[in-house]
Amino acid sequence: MLLCRSDDKRRLRLLEEELRMAKEATVRLHDDMMRAEERRQRHQDDLDRVKNALNESESRRLCLQNQYDNAQTEVCRLCLSHNFLCVRHPLCLLTKV
């Protein structure tokens, strides 16, 4: 019976050691997961900032394109009103034809 107790104690120590190692692994994995989540959130924030900047840039581009088109139309209108043949502005050529 003494051998059984000695084997049981040894087995118990082994199980306790396995449990301790499993707990340490769990803590490490949890910490790794939290760091990965923080990185993911940081990248998501960066992506959102870039998307917003892209949207703002596209809005400015469209605004500038509209201003350019309006200026082009005004130049063509002035050319036509003064009977100029403006070869630099395609709209003038199209309107004259």
Q: What are the structural domain ranges in the chain?
A: 2-96
Q: What is the mean pLDDT of residues 18-32?
A: 98
d(CA 25, CA 19): 10
Q: What is the pLDDT of residue 81?
A: 79
0.75 cut: is pTM over it?
Answer: no
Q: What is the pLDDT of residue 1?
A: 47
Query: What tokens does 21 get?
Result: 């190692």
d(CA 74, CA 90): 13
Q: What is the mean pLDDT of residues 84-93?
A: 63
54-67 pLDDT per residue, tens: 999 999 999 999 99
Percent of the chain beyond pLDDT 70? 81
Percent of the chain beyond pLDDT 90? 63
Q: What is the pLDDT of residue 72?
A: 84
In what helix (H) or strand (E) does residue 39 lie, and over which residues does it extend? helix 2-81
Strand (E) positions, 6-57?
Answer: none
